[in-house]
């Protein structure tokens, strides 16, 4: 397997799907001439031409709606948001059109399209550009949501999303584009709705998705030196959710920590805790603990930003808490 960056893995997925299916096209701000704000679409304009790789005006609501219309008549658009923070301007098309059209048409009009781009905090981009947008999308029936943490999953989940007959939001980690990892050769597709145990353990389950997976693995490495075996469960897909893998892990370790980069109030962790309480309560030896971003808009000041983000040290502390090691 080749070791490539998260960015290169996404680029491979886009190129392979554009090559495989003539109905697939990419559209968004600066995806063509500039090759994408994060260079994910590098080389695609030269290879596939301006009818398949389309620069749009700075109007998220407009081009998201154009993508919905294209999907309704049989194409498979990939709509890139320069950042999912900007998708807030397009939520009417995403939520009220893409996600609901199949249901409202009695199953007659599918909307096979992808919304993709970076989400979460980067480095000092301040409050309006640092939001983890997954919970807003996950809340809505009719749209699938994936959050890849590794290059292999970035490629595999994006390819699966393009081929799916429902709208799928592919939420990429803004700080992950330069992360390297092994990616299987060939037509690598990761099915939607399947979590993956990134590290086996017997003492506590840390459940997470996206960029925080790397924090969980760091915390697991630190705790291993103290004789604690942490199992890291990467959800990968947030809707549909792999309930079985979550519950199997908790039933094995009897303790759980949920880690996410979003806000705590009505975050994805609330749903995971509810699931564990409903389906695995008798297996728990301690209450489930959540680790999240601080419940504030992301500060611009570097020291405050570092304070607001979840850390590996917080994950270690949470694991120690459920293990009664404090």
Pairing assessment for the beta strands 204-208 and 168-173 based on DSSP bridges = unpaired
Q: Which of 17, 35, 80, 129 is catalytic?
A: 129
Does residue 60 have an active-site annotation? yes
ω into residue 240 within 30 of 0, thus cis?
yes
Spatial contact of 319 and 206, defined as CB atoms under 8 Å apart: yes
Spatial contact of 119 and 148, defined as CB atoms under 8 Å apart: no
Residue 44, both tokens: 């695609």
Q: Which of 60, 172, 174, 260 is catalytic?
A: 60
288 to each of 13, 157, 205, how far by Cα in Å? 37, 28, 10
Spatial contact of 246 and 236, defined as CB atoms under 8 Å apart: no
Rounded to whole angstroms, the Cα distance separating 314 from 290 reads: 10
Residue 28, C-beta contacts closer than 8 angstroms, at least 6 positions apart? 36, 54, 55, 56, 63, 79, 80, 81, 82, 117
Does residue 129 have an active-site annotation? yes
Rounded to whole angstroms, the Cα distance separating 100 from 141 reads: 8
Q: Which residues are catalytic?
A: 60, 129
């Amino acid at each position: 397997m080749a070791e490539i960056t998260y960015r290169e893995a996404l680029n491979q997925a886009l190129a392979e799907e554009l090559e495989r299916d003539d109905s697939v096209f990419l559209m968004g701000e600066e995806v063509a001439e500039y090759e994408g704000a994060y260079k994910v679409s590098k080389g695609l304009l030269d290879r596939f031409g301006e009818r398949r790789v389309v620069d749009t005006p700075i109007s998220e609501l407009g081009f998201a709606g154009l993508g919905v219309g294209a999907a309704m008549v049989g194409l498979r658009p990939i709509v890139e948001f320069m950042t999912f923070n900007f998708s807030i301007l397009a939520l009417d098309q995403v939520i009220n059109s893409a996600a609901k059209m199949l249901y409202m048409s009695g199953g007659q009009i599918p909307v096979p399209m992808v919304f993709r781009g970076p989400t979460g905090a980067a480095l000092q981009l301040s409050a309006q550009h640092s939001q983890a947008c997954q919970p807003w999308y996950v809340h809505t029936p009719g749209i699938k949501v994936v959050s890849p943490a590794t290059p292999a999953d970035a490629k595999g989940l994006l390819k699966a999303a393009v081929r799916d007959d429902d709208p799928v939001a592919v939420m990429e980690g803004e700080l992950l584009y330069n992360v390297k990892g092994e990616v299987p050769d060939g037509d690598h597709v990761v099915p939607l709705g399947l979590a993956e145990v990134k590290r086996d353990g017997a003492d506590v389950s840390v459940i997470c998705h996206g960029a925080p997976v790397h924090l969980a693995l760091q915390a697991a490495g630190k705790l291993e030196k103290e004789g604690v075996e942490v199992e890291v469960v990467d959800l990968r897909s947030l809707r549909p959710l792999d309930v079985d893998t979550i519950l199997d892990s908790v039933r094995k370790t009897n303790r759980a920590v949920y880690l996410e980069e979003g806000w705590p109030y009505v975050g994805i962790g609330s749903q995971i805790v509810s699931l564990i309480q409903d389906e695995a309560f008798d297996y728990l030896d301690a209450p489930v603990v959540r680790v999240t971003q601080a419940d504030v808009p992301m500060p611009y000041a570097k020291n405050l930003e570092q304070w607001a983000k979840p850390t590996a040290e917080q994950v270690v502390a949470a694991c120690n808490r459920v293990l009664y090691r404090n």
